[in-house]
């Protein structure tokens, strides 16, 4: 026999020890490292989820605040809509949006007609032709009791830097009188008004 009992025991112990070492190096140690990697990734994902949750809560809060602001704005616009003051205020706000520079906005004396009050407004401004068109279109869409007509408009080239036109406009703001009979009168946004005959309209435009 090549090995005695002692030798065979030593060989068995060696083989067993080698198998353990091979198992540790080839399976157990990589498994431990892989588990640590997974745990680290899980921690990273949890951190991202926490941040996303915080952002979601913040976004929800901002959305609620925005909704409240919108409601207040709608309420405020409802109170101001239709007044000459609000019309001129909105004219100024929209002028900044469309890069219109007002040199002068002068409301003249209110005139009393048969069915409504009319307030002429003279405006002197600098701007660009396209922007002025968008401003007028935006104000027409505004509607409400502050409806208006453009009675006169005079445009000329502007030498002022950043602007292409200088304009002089005359507008008329309208407010209907309270009806003294049952029913209501619907007001046009722009153009002829109820109660105007052709002579009155021609005279006003002149």
What is the structure's pLDDT at 32? 79
Structure tokens of 166?
A: 């200088």
Q: 87: burial class by Cβ within 10 Å (0-12, 13-18, 19+)? A: buried
What is the structure's pLDDT at 183? 44
What is the structure's pLDDT at 201? 37
Structure tokens of 204?
A: 């006003």
What is the structure's pLDDT at 165? 94
Q: SS in 3 state form for the chain?
A: CCCCHHHHHHHHHHHHHHHHHHHHHHHHHHHHHHHHHHHHHHHHHHHHHHHHHHHHHHHHHHHHHHHHHHHHHHHHHHHHCCCHHHHHHHHHHHHHHCCCEEEEEEECCCEECCCEEEEEEEEEEEECHHHHHHHHHHHHHHCHHHCEEEEEEEEEECCCCCCCEEEEEEEEEEEECCCCCCCCCCCCCCCCCCCCCHHHHHHHHC
In which residue ranges of the chain is pLDDT below 70?
1-13, 20, 24, 73-84, 142-146, 178-206
Domain ranges (residues) in the chain: 1-80, 100-205
What is the structure's pLDDT at 54? 87
Exposure of 21 in the CB half-sphere (CA atoms within 13 A): 6
pTM given for the model: 0.46
What is the structure's pLDDT at 36? 83
What is the structure's pLDDT at 78? 56
Query: Taking the domain 100-205, which CATH number applies?
Result: 3.30.70.60
């Amino acid at each position: 026999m090549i090995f005695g009992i002692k030798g065979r025991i030593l060989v068995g112990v060696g083989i067993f020890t080698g198998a353990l070492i091979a198992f540790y190096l080839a399976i157990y140690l990589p498994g431990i490292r892989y588990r640590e990697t997974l745990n680290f990734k899980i921690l990273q994902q949890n951190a991202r989820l926490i941040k996303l949750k915080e952002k979601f809560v913040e976004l929800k809060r901002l959305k609620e605040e925005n909704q409240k602001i919108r409601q207040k704005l709608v309420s405020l616009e409802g109170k101001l809509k239709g007044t000459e003051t609000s019309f001129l205020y909105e004219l100024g706000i929209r002028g900044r949006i469309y890069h219109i520079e007002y040199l002068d906005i002068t409301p003249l004396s209110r005139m009393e007609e048969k069915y409504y009050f009319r307030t002429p407004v003279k405006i002197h401004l600098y701007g660009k032709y396209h922007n002025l068109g968008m401003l007028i279109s935006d104000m027409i869409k505004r509607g409400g009791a502050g409806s208006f007509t453009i009675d006169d408009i005079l445009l000329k080239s502007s030498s002022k830097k950043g602007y292409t036109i200088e304009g002089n406009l005359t507008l008329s703001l309208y407010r209907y009188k309270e009806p003294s009979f049952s029913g209501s009168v619907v007001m046009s946004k722009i153009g002829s008004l109820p109660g105007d005959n052709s002579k009155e309209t021609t005279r006003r435009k002149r």
